[in-house]
Amino acid sequence: MRIRPGVDLANLTDVGCHRQENEDYYCYAEPDDDLVFERKGRLAVVADGMGGHQGGKVASTIAVEAVRDWYFNHLDLDTHEALRSAFQDAHAAIQEYSRQNPGLAGMGTTCTAVAILGDQLHYGHVGDSRLYLIRGGAISQITQDHSQVARLVQDGLITPEEAAVHPQRNVLTAAMGIEPASADFSDSPLQLYANDVLLMCSDGLHGLVSDQEMLANASTLEPLEACKELVRMAKERGGFDNITLQILRIV
Amino acid sequence: MAKFCANGHQMEDSWAVCPYCQRTGFQSPAAPPPMKTRMEGEPSKEAPPPLPSPGRRTVLLTDKRKPPVVGWFVALTGEQKGEDFRIHEGQNVIGSAPDADIQLRDTAVSGKHASLRYKDQKFFLTDLDSSNGTFVNEGTTPIAREELKDNDIVRVGEVTLKFKCF
């Protein structure tokens, strides 16, 4: 794939230290056609699937492929609308696939997608994978987890520190493919600047590596080196889940 | 020079094939509609502002919203004892199939066991040729089609359901 100037991209996935299967899936896409690129820009997606009998792997793969295909196939829709309808299509596609393959019933996935058109960012998000923005030496979590503990933190019942080690921290309140599903979308586009760093990851990373550690590595190392180092840290600390991350530096 | 596969997965220079690519064989049915021309706003080029905390909008992913709730079943026995099931306007399929509207985890319940239909302020329960029959209240003979009233009891397989409506 040809990646046009404008971003420095790196990504990495790792099965971790305990799982047999990697149920995460991800993509980065730019259309081949320059005219399509001018209208749709770039897209990066991270999905973390769940469900037995290969369900997790299937759900995350369908999510990534369906979001990407829908997004780039609908030239008439603006970025926000294309992302929103792409998520709806992917949600329906996962449900349809489990209807046809009853052994996969109940499968679902997180899905975090970023579309960059020019210097404007839009995102769509469901589940507990995350999008971070690093700018001027600070890191900000752009997406909010759809998880029970995130809700407890919002309600002021537990602290973020307690949430990080909470036994129920893997329980999601929304997932693509599972009814009733809802997703968050950026209200207005986010303006990007040179040297901004976007970091997208599954909970296999953010469950074991702190925001400050992501900041320290992603802002000092080249994207690929940062990916390798962050995955190494997560594995050194147990690597309980699959680990996937993408780093995009705006140049 | 960094190397990426067709799905945008980063590869080591020595790799000929991407080890991360997965395929489900799933094909999105989307067909590209015609292209319309539109002006893009001129992006501003000022000093980076502080980290944003952008607004977000939550959207239901289900396109077709379910019709309004008109009643409930509550499981009185079995593994799902205490669980309640919403009954929507129109047809509600009761069964053990994953796509049943009211999904019962009971081996004596057929995939599509019975259907409860709400129309014109009346509820009608119809057996869908189930293997073990559908029973209402104290009845000992399986029903074919029967009107349900508030507080009626429905038995399918080993599951007893209490019916509630407005």
Instruction: Among B24, B49, B61, select the one facing A88 at the smallest CB separation.
Output: B61
Q: Does B7 touch chain A (CB under 8 A)?
A: yes
Neighboring chain A residues of B55 at a CB cutoff of 8 Å: 186-188
Q: Which residue of B has its CA nearest to A85?
A: B61
Is residue B27 predicted with pLDDT exceeding 70? Answer: no
Instruction: Among B31, B51, B63, select the one facing A88 at the smallest CB separation.
Output: B63
Is residue A15 predicted with pLDDT exceeding 70? Answer: yes
Looking at CA atoms only, how far is residue B146 from chain A in angstroms? 30
Task: Tell me the pLDDT band of A29, cut-offs 50, 70 and 90.
Answer: very high
Percentage with pLDDT > 90 across chain B? 57
* Host H or E run for residue B19: none
> Side chain identity at B11, as an amino acid letter?
M
pLDDT of residue B166: 83
Asked if B51 lies within 8 A of A70 by C-beta distance, the reply is no
Q: Which of B5, B27, B28, B39 to mutate to test the interface with A (most CBs of A within 10 A)?
A: B28
* C-alpha to C-alpha distance for A64 and A46, rounded to whole angstroms: 7
Q: Which of B61, B62, B96 to mutate to test the interface with A (most CBs of A within 10 A)?
A: B61
ipTM of the complex: 0.89
Neighboring chain B residues of A187 at a CB cutoff of 8 Å: 54-57
Q: Does B131 touch chain A (CB under 8 A)?
A: no
Average pLDDT value for chain B: 82
Is residue A245 predicted with pLDDT exceeding 70? Answer: yes
pLDDT of residue B108: 94
pLDDT tens digits for range B30-74: 444 433 333 444 344 445 567 766 677 777 777 555 678 899 999
pLDDT of residue B65: 54
pLDDT of residue A179: 86
Asked if B56 lies within 8 A of A99 by C-beta distance, the reply is no
Least-confidence region, from A155-169, A177-191, A233-247, B134-148: A155-169
Q: Does B19 touch chain A (CB under 8 A)?
A: no
Residue B81 and residue B75 in contact, taking contact as beta carbons nearer than 8 Å: yes
Is residue A162 predicted with pLDDT exceeding 50? Answer: yes
Asked if A88 lies within 8 A of B56 by C-beta distance, the reply is no
Asked if B63 lies within 8 A of A181 by C-beta distance, the reply is no
Instruction: Among A69, A184, A190, select the one facing B57 at the smallest CB separation.
Output: A184
pLDDT tens digits for range A30-43: 999 999 999 999 99
pLDDT of residue B68: 81
Quick one: average pLDDT of A135-159?
Answer: 91
Write out chain A in H/E/C secondary structure.
CCCCCCEEEEEEEECCCCCCCCCEEEEEECCCCHHHHHHHCEEEEEEEEECCCCHHHHHHHHHHHHHHHHHHHCCCCCHHHHHHHHHHHHHHHHHHHHHHCHHHCCCEECEEEEEEECCEEEEEEECCCEEEEEECCEEEECCCCCEHHHHHHHCCCCCHHHHHCCCCCCCECCCECCCCCEEEEECCCEECCCCCEEEEECHHHHCCCCHHHHHHHHHHCCHHHHHHHHHHHHHHCCCCCCEEEEEEEEC
Quick one: average pLDDT of A143-153?
Answer: 90
Give pTM, 2 decimals: 0.72
pLDDT tens digits for range A49-95: 998 778 999 999 999 999 999 999 999 899 999 999 999 999 999 99
Quick one: average pLDDT of A100-124?
Answer: 94
Task: Tell me the pLDDT band of A167, cut-offs 50, 70 and 90.
Answer: confident
pLDDT of residue B57: 76
Quick one: average pLDDT of B141-153?
Answer: 95
Give Cα separations from B64 to A69, A180, A211, B87 (angstroms).
22, 11, 38, 16
Instruction: Among B28, B52, B61, select the one facing A182 at the smallest CB separation.
Output: B61
Q: A47: closest CA among A251, A244, A250? A: A244
Is residue A126 predicted with pLDDT exceeding 60? Answer: yes
